[in-house]
Each structure stands twice: as C-alpha cells, then as structure tokens.
Amino acid sequence: MSGLDDIVKNYVDSLSYVKSIDGFLIKTTTMVYNVEDYCRLTGCDPVETVEKVLSDERVKKYLVAFSCYRDNIVSQINSDPRYKKLRKYTSVLSSVLGSLECRGEAAHASIVVETPPALWVKEEAEEKASPRRSFEVLPPSTLIESKRSSESIVEKILLGLLVLSIILIILYFLMGSSGG
C-alpha cells in the first residue's frame, strides 16, 4: 500500500462520520497536512496531489453530500482563520465539488451548515444575559448580634470543657489516693 493510498484511506475513514461543513473542513485540513508531508518526502506537487485525493472515487462518494454547499465551503475557507491552510487549495476543492452532482433534499437533510456553538459558549452567553444575583446587605447591628451569639456558644463550650477537666483531675486524685 502506497503512502498516497494511506492518505486516501484515512481521509475516507474520517469523512464517513462527518455531518457538518466545519467537520468536513477540519478533516480536509488534516488531509492537506498529510499530503504536504508526503510531498515533502517524495518531491510531488501538493496541489496536484490534493486534487488526486479529492478525485479518488472512494472520496467522491462522501464529497457528493457537500457538493450542494460549495459556495458556503469556499466562503468559510476564505473567512475563517481556522481554515487558512486550505486557501491554497480552494480552486481545486471548488472544481471537484462543482463536478459532482448535488443531490438536493437528501444532501440538505444530512449536512449541518452552521455548527452550533460549544456548550460552554452557550452557557457563558446565557450567564451574561441573565440578571446578576443581588445579595442582601445586613445592617451592622445584625452582624454584631450574630458575632455575639457565636462568641457565647464558643464561651459555653470552653467553660464546659474546663469544668469537665477539673472533675477528671479531682477523680484522678481521689482514685490515686484511695488505692495506695
């Protein structure tokens, strides 16, 4: 099995579960990195090799679902910095997607055009939108009374421990003097 065939196989495997344009572009970026590494070792032209990978019949089987979104894909490549690596290959990707027949409703139903934000982003936005919790400010007299009540409990515990220790000392001496 050649290195290029491995790249095609890995790309096909990764495309088999992709259901969004973002996912497609992420997997395509990974494939481009693999092709560039392969071409660095073999001296091939990366653009031509990417075109060979995209034109492979095994790959085209998965690209058909994205052929209806060619303009969205090109637009996202040119506007999103995450896909800057793909800008060199935009014309190749666009021409391969353009050569495939868009299958209409079946393709539209399975592909997510805009990936929803991550859960933490959504929660953060909701938190910012929700009103801030207000805390009840207690008057100073309530704080002083609260402090006194906790001090009195501590004082009572210490006094009880002191009394208990005195009783234990007395019992120790009584037991020690009666035994001897």
Tell me the per-residue pLDDT of 32-76, one tens digit each, with 9 for 90 and over. Answer: 999 999 999 999 999 999 999 999 999 999 998 888 889 999 999
Supply the pLDDT for residue 65.
87
CA dist 91 and 88 (Å) reads: 8
| CB distance 47 to 92 below 8 Å | yes
**Cβ atoms of 8 and 38 closer than 8 Å:** no
Look at residue 155 in the predicted model and tell me its pLDDT: 87
pLDDT at position 1 is: 43
DSSP label at 112? B
| pLDDT score for 136 | 66
Angstrom distances, CA of residue 32 to CA of 23, 35, 46, 50, 126: 14, 5, 8, 7, 37
Determine the distance from the C-alpha atom of residue 148 to the mean position of all C-alpha atoms in its chain, rounded to a whole number.
50
Which pLDDT belongs to residue 148?
Answer: 64
Q: Which residues of the chain are under the pLDDT cut of 50?
A: 1, 106
- pLDDT exceeding 90 applies to what percent of the chain? 52
- CB contact at 8 A, 11 and 31: yes
Write down the pLDDT at residue 45: 95
pLDDT at 24 (0 to 100)? 93
- For the chain, the residue count is 180
Give residues with Cβ within 8 angstroms of 160, minimum separation 6: none
Residue 65 to residue 92: CA distance in whole angstroms: 17
